[in-house]
Chains A and B, each alone.
Chain A
């Protein structure tokens, strides 16, 4: 048989896009915590900057120094976790949310809101809990007691439609759809299919959005990013992406502020990089392939952050 070869046009090469200007990387990894879980899926930071990790039918708790501080088993397979300021821990399976006391005692299991349902993100504020559902392409708004208060789908209300207040709703092509509580009653929702972050009131009224599709470091790459997001002190927002796994911080108005971790910090196949920030602005990044949560802190040499 004659030997055949493929030409260079058949090569798939992302190396050019994995390179990041080192001057933009203002964070460095300062610690890594082994989760002890085979499939860690979600993380959150709670009171006293404790770190919560969910996966493998369990929740594990670590102190702000990364030392193990407790754990408990769950009856469902957790996909994500959020902790309210008062300490209640909310854990979501694909189709419902359960609430736990800080000591791991299960308090309630809430009725599924959507059918079918695939909850991939949770956020908790004082008195409100939000669950982003990738199957329903909507965010469910609950009271802290589990009463369903509303459904946020990102579509403009009929009266506002003419003003294009929200757009075509949440576009969720893959099972990554996250929600976070921002400052002053603002809800942050990743709209991955539109490669942007959208801001809503708790009642679901669209306020603004930022972000653009781009492989450049300031944009969101691929078909559907960001996959995860979380609010930092001062209103900045940390996001993570798949495809080109990278973690970045944006100013409140959406300007890229710094890179936390470039693609080179992760395995090429890394995805599901859940992010959470503590009160000091340190950023925890879940690395499911490494089964670790990695702590990133600002470099001492990093330039001062611009005031929002």
Chain B
């Protein structure tokens, strides 16, 4: 008798699917970039390993709102029921399966969406139209979780200024120019892919 094929759990399937989708989004901006950066061949990017989530990205970009957004490395995410990139510190739910109102969410602009997947697992996605790149959720995720939320310059918005005003204000020296054909500094397995 042949061995039954190992079935992917829904969570694993979602994780793989989401990784693909996330990368597709990032790749989708490559064509826009190619035209925008032909001059220099490099673009500005934020190294998530150096970022200290000071909030400067949100207020120092020449664009308002900033070109910086939170992105999510799904492969690193724990899909936690109590995600403290989503909930504020001290939050204690009556029912952890209930999605709370805005008053019980960490993000001041309500830019993180929470969706039940299976068992006690939830998926968190970013509504880029609402995110202003303040990095508050990045701090919470880094403190309690796996650091799967992090900030990146989104190149479908960035004007690629010669002198980036955020880079000039960054106290961590986290900004640098990267090749335009590899415009993102991603974390975890997303980076390998």
**Given A1-B62, A10-B136, A213-B96, A243–B143 Cβ distance below 8 Å?**
yes
Residues of B within 8 A of A195 (CB): 82
A174 on interface, CB distance cutoff 8 Å: yes
CB of B183 within 8 Å of the partner chain: no
| A10 with B144, Cβ < 8 A, contacts A193-B78, A193-B81 known | no
Nearest A residue to B106, CB-CB: A12
- Asked if B64 and A4 make an inter-chain contact with CB atoms under 8 angstroms apart, the answer reads yes
B92's contact among A1, A213, A243, by CB below 8 Å, is which?
A213
- Which residues of A lie under 8 Å from residue B53 when comparing CB positions? 12
A150 vs chain B, min Cβ distance (A): 21
Closest to B77 in A: A173
Assess whether A214 is interfacial by the CB under 8 Å rule: yes
B74 within 8 Å of A (CB atoms): no
Known contacts: A6-B58, A6-B134, A168-B120. The answer to whether A16 contacts B90 by CB under 8 A is: yes
Instruction: Among B80, B90, B106, B165, point to the contact of A223 (Cβ < 8 A).
Output: B80
Q: Which of B19-47 contact A (CB under 8 A)?
A: none
Least distance between B146 CB and chain A CB atoms (Å): 5
Chain A interface residue count: which class?
Answer: 20 to 34
> Which of B96, B108, B143 has the largest count of A CB atoms less than 10 A from its CB?
B143
Shortest C-beta distance, A14 to chain B (Å), equals 5
| B-contact bits for A251-289, CB 8 A (1 contact / 0 none) | 000000000000000001000000000000000000000
**A223–B145 CB distance below 8 A:** yes
In the complex, what residues of A have CB within 8 A of residue B92's CB? 213-215
Residue A97, interface by CB 8 Å: no
Is B101 interfacial (CB 8 A cutoff)? no
Query: Does A193 contact B108, Cβ atoms closer than 8 Å?
Result: no
Range class of the B interface residue count = 20 to 34
Determine chain B's interface SS by DSSP, over half rule: loop
Nearest CB of B to A192, in Å: 9
Q: Which of A3, A7, A12, A174 contacts B145 (CB 8 A)?
A: A174
**B178 CB to closest chain A CB, in angstroms?**
24
- Can you list, as one digit per residue, whether each of A163-205 has a CB less than 8 Å from chain B (1) or not (0)? 0000010010110000000000000000001110000000000
B175 adjacent to chain A (CB < 8 Å)? no
B96 close to A243 (CB less than 8 A): no
Classify the interface of chain A: helix, strand, loop or mixed.
loop
**Complex-state Cα separation, A168 to B62, whole angstroms:** 49
Interface-central residue, B62, B79, B82, B134, by most chain A CB under 10 Å: B82
Interface members, chain A 136-179 (any B CB < 8 Å) = 168, 171, 173-174
Contact B55 A10 (CB under 8 A): yes
Q: Are B82 and A223 in contact (CB under 8 A)?
A: yes
Asked if B165 contacts A173 (CB within 8 A), the reply is no
Chain B residue, CB-CB nearest to A212: B92
Inter-chain contacts of A243 with B (CB < 8 A)? 84, 143-144
Instruction: Give 1 or 0 for each of B86-108: 1 = CB within 8 Å of chain A CB.
Output: 00011011001000000000101
Q: Is B139 an interface position by the 8 A CB rule?
A: yes
Q: Cβ of A221: which chain B residues have Cβ within 8 Å of it?
A: 144
- Hey, which chain A residues are within 8 Å of B93, CB to CB? 213
What are 10 residue pairs bridging A and B, where the CB atoms are less than 8 Å apart in the complex?
A: A1-B62, A4-B64, A10-B58, A173-B78, A173-B79, A213-B93, A223-B83, A224-B80, A243-B84, A243-B144
**Inter-chain pairs besides A6-B134, A213-B82, A223-B78, 15 sampled, C-beta below 8 Å:** A4-B58, A4-B59, A6-B55, A10-B58, A10-B108, A10-B136, A12-B139, A173-B79, A173-B80, A174-B78, A174-B146, A193-B80, A214-B92, A223-B84, A242-B144
Task: Return the 10 tightest CB-CB contacts between A and B, nearest first.
Answer: A173-B78, A222-B144, A243-B144, A223-B80, A4-B59, A12-B139, A9-B108, A215-B90, A10-B134, A173-B80
